[in-house]
Amino acid sequence: EIVLTQSPATLSLSPGERATLSCRASQSISSNLAWYQQKPGQAPRLLIYDASNRVTGIPARFSGSGSGTDFTLTISSLEPEDFAVYYCQQRSNDRVFTFGPGTKVDIK
């Protein structure tokens, strides 16, 4: 099973700052990675797929990069509504999918 690790577990930042979230896979997953945002009491929302493609309607301040085993989600300038938990998820083989443990972005 492919294991995803995310760092840091918590990121404390102020609005307007840049957020850089990391996701690392236990083996190469090419670009088969997505990022989700989850706010309290809500279902998650898909932000980025295939490592770097933004879903329609997702603001341009969200960007994804990476391939192989190391991936990054960048939020260029945090808006108040961006404070949430972010998960990465792999679909490297189409049989078993896994999520990372999440990174919480909270207000400093």
Chain residues binding other proteins by CB under 8 A are: 1, 32, 34, 36, 38, 43-46, 49, 55, 85, 87, 89, 91, 94-102
In the complex with other proteins, the residue whose CB is nearer, 27 or 77, is: 27
Q: Which is nearer to other proteins, 34 or 78 (CB)?
A: 34
Q: How far apart are CA 53 and CA 2, in angstroms?
A: 22
Q: What's the min distance (Å) between Cβ of 70 and other proteins?
A: 19
Shortest approach of other proteins to residue 69 CB, angstroms?
A: 18
Nearer to other proteins, 4 or 78 (CB): 4
- What is the C-alpha separation between 108 and 27, in angstroms, rounded? 34
Tell me how far, at minimum, the Cβ of 91 lies from other proteins, in Å: 3
Enumerate residues 6+ apart whose C-beta is below 8 A from 26.
Answer: 2, 3, 4, 5, 69
Token pair in block for residue 56: 């329609």
d(CA 81, CA 61): 12
